[in-house]
Structure 1
Amino acid sequence: MKKTDFYDVVVVGAGPAGLQAAIHASRKKVSVLVLGKEHKSSLFRAHVENMVSLFNATGKVMLETGRRQAKNFGSEFMDEDILKITADDGRFELETEGGNRLACKTLVLATGTARNKLRVKGEKELVGKGVSYCVDCDGNFYRGEEVTVVGSESAAADGALTLAEIAGKVHLICDDLKVSEALLAKLDNSHVVLHRGAKVKEISGKEEVNAIVLDDGTILSTSGVFIELGAKGLMELATSLGVALDDTMRFIRADKDQLTSVSGIFAAGDICGPPWQVAKAVGEGCVAGINAADYAKKLHPTL
């Protein structure tokens, strides 16, 4: 087992909110780690023309510049997705897709919340009737049954492994599996049935899901379809810690200091809701970074 590295502040998300939080936290002379992949940020492929002092700037360059700034102030970076976050005796413990174990005094959650959809026949109609976007939320309803996970990244791989301990049989439909060597090794040593290079054409069922149809015509019987496209959803990781959502149940509720309902956990950017603007994300990231660093210094000086 790898050793646990400890930081004052861990920022989850390498977009504009996360980078700004890292910059301001690092300037407070605390240890900061940023987790995430910059190309996953919605800013990466965007052009920005409505941010003060920037006109027709490319998101990729903005993210690369922000990363250099954060590093210049002392932030460290790990280009990995988070699989698990737990609270333990006044601190937070995290596990990454690469098997790295981390601990910190405070967290800044700064990544988007969009749920990618397959957009295939039957998906919309069967949501809540066998179609789910959260293994951690709904997996236990399928104990002993045959289920399917769809996706090619860390969320799908981790979800399939979780279900392998609950369900009777687990299929993983992956167009092009893009996971760490550690996750791949776990899959290879599990009972998960991999369908590499396959795509879902249709989810079938009337009152509930009973099968999926692949693009080559193969029909797989299944009671549940878990659509996990992309990285492990930060929203489900947050809510597992007791972080409160807003009235729409889609975004994290944070106060003017960007503090969530859980002491030591701050949030910034798209995960806190609209408007979807870089200026808002950066402003919230600034506030969250400052307050997370102050929290780490003041409340847990001996951790």
Structure 2
Amino acid sequence: MYKSIVIGTGPAGLTAAIYLARANLNPLVIEGVQPGGQLTTTTEVENFPGFPQGIQGPELMDNMRKQAERFGAQFRSGWVEQVDFSSRPFKMKLEGGEELTSETVILSTGASAKYLGIPGEQENVGRGVSTCATCDGFFFRGKRIIVIGGGDSAMEEANFLTRFGSSVTIVHRRDELRASKIMQDRARSNEKIKWALNRTPLAVTTDENGMVKGLSVRNNATDQEELIEAEGVFVAIGHTPNTKFLGGVIDTDEHGYIIVKPGTTETNIPGVFACGDVQDIRYRQAITAAGSGCMAAMDCEKFLEGSMVHDWSETLNP
């Protein structure tokens, strides 16, 4: 029996673990299949406060893990396959059948960026391929950039990246975009944005030094293969929150992101809290994830003390 179990790491889960451990709650952290979260696939992190020269993503996550361990947090590798939140203590079943019980649970399983699955894509993540303009745009100052996607996220990323790149080319497999009219108009009025519509991405290409040099595409109108030259390729086709394992017992929005009571990390089940990208469809930054991890730990501590009031009626039915 644990007082609190944190499912998932990354900045949110590790920050929650630090705060819980310092409160002498001895949390157990289930690391999942990618300990440290998305930052472990990032090279340089320059926008996390406190590191004026930047820090490597894996190093930042390792430091946060060691900090949590220093105060008594325990870590276990594994994947939660099933949860039972019908009554307290809550039950979780790990792969292999092991069952854990806890008085409270913090969900920090994150959201996974969607990829195209084309050759050269995964191999070059952090080496010219990215899914986060806010995180990595700075590294492409004066360079040619490609943004793949046709929705609002792609238009927003493309506009943002024009602050850094010499040009930004939007690649979309159809002639028509899915983005809202206002976002399309904003992108089309930007002189630094070029268009490569009705083209299907085939592969991310690299030069003899292993550096990204462009995107190979098929022109759907002519059926000919083309190479769009660029030093950076941003994949902007959305994210998938890692909530499938919850089996629908936690309220989510239409995209699968966990719904929390505004201003808190409370879910619809008292004693279960959510933090980080799994409940954040808007910001998805390491620092905002860490902040929400702090909130989740403090909400959890107050709940265990019996001082938290759980009343969703005012929120859902104002």
Report if TM-score (shorter chain) is over 0.5.
yes
Which residue of structure 1 lines up, in the alignment, with residue 178 of structure 2?
none
Map Cα deviations across residues 146-196 of structure 1 (whole Å, 9 max, x no partner): xxxxxxxxxxxxxxxxxxxxxxxxxxxxxxxxxxxxxxxxxxxxxxxxxxx
Q: List structure 1 runs of 4+ shifted beyond 6 angstroms.
A: none
Q: Distance in 1 between matches of 2:96 and 2:57?
A: 27
Give the C-alpha shift of residue 283 in structure 1: 0.2
Q: Specify the code of the residue in structure 1 equivalent to 2:273.
A: F
Q: Specify the code of the residue in structure 2 equivalent to 1:35.
A: I
Which residue of structure 2 lines up, in the alignment, with residue 14 of structure 1?
9
1:292 pairs, out of 294, 300, 306, with 300
Give the C-alpha shift of residue 31 in structure 1: 2.8
Residue 42 in structure 1 maps to residue 38 in structure 2: yes
Residue 245 in structure 1 maps to residue 243 in structure 2: no
Q: Is residue 107–residue 274 contact of structure 2 (8 Å, CA) maintained in 1?
A: yes
Give the C-alpha shift of residue 40 in structure 1: 6.1
Question: Between the two proteins, what is the percent identity of the paired residues?
Answer: 27
Q: Specify the code of the residue in structure 1 equivalent to 2:39.
A: L
1:132-143 aligned at under 5 Å gives the runs none
Which residue of structure 2 lines up, in the alignment, with residue 24 of structure 1?
19
Q: Specify the code of the residue in structure 2 equivalent to 1:24.
A: Y
Q: Distance in 1 between matches of 2:47 and 2:9?
A: 21
Which residue of structure 2 lines up, in the alignment, with residue 57 of structure 1?
55
Q: Distance in 2 between matches of 1:98 and 1:64?
A: 27
CA gap of 1:100–1:116, structure 2 versus 1, over 3 A, is farther
Q: Distance in 2 between matches of 1:13 and 1:298?
A: 25
Which residue of structure 1 lines up, in the alignment, with residue 284 of structure 2?
276
Secondary structure, in 3 states, of the residue corresponding to 2:269?
coil
Secondary structure, in 3 states, of the residue corresponding to 1:293?
helix
Q: Distance in 1 between matches of 2:242 and 2:102?
A: 17
Give the C-alpha shift of residue 61 in structure 1: 0.8
1:193-212 aligned at under 5 Å gives the runs none
Q: Distance in 2 between matches of 1:40 and 1:74?
A: 18
Map Cα deviations across residues 221-253 of structure 1 (whole Å, 9 max, x no partner): xxxxxxxxxxxx841233522x2123x433111
Residue 263 in structure 1 maps to residue 287 in structure 2: no
Give the C-alpha shift of residue 74 in structure 1: 1.0
* Aligned residues: CA RMSD: 2.3
Which residue of structure 2 lines up, in the alignment, with residue 211 of structure 1?
none
CA gap of 1:115–1:275, structure 2 versus 1, over 3 A, is closer
Secondary structure, in 3 states, of the residue corresponding to 1:11?
strand
Give the C-alpha shift of residue 293 in structure 1: 2.2
Which residue of structure 2 lines up, in the alignment, with residue 168 of structure 1?
none
Give the C-alpha shift of residue 83 in structure 1: 0.7
Which residue of structure 2 lines up, in the alignment, with residue 109 of structure 1?
107
Question: Please, which runs of 5 or more residues in structure 2 have no aligned partner?
Answer: 119-240, 309-318
* TM-score between both structures, scaled by the size of structure 2: 0.53
* TM-score between both structures, scaled by the size of structure 1: 0.55
Q: Distance in 2 between matches of 1:11 and 1:49?
A: 27
Q: Distance in 1 between matches of 2:271 and 2:243?
A: 16
Map Cα deviations across residues 64-102 of structure 1 (whole Å, 9 max, x no partner): 111111111111100111111112432210111143210
**Highest RCO, 1 vs 2 (Cα 8 Å, sep ≥ 6):** 1
Give the C-alpha shift of residue 257 in structure 1: 1.9
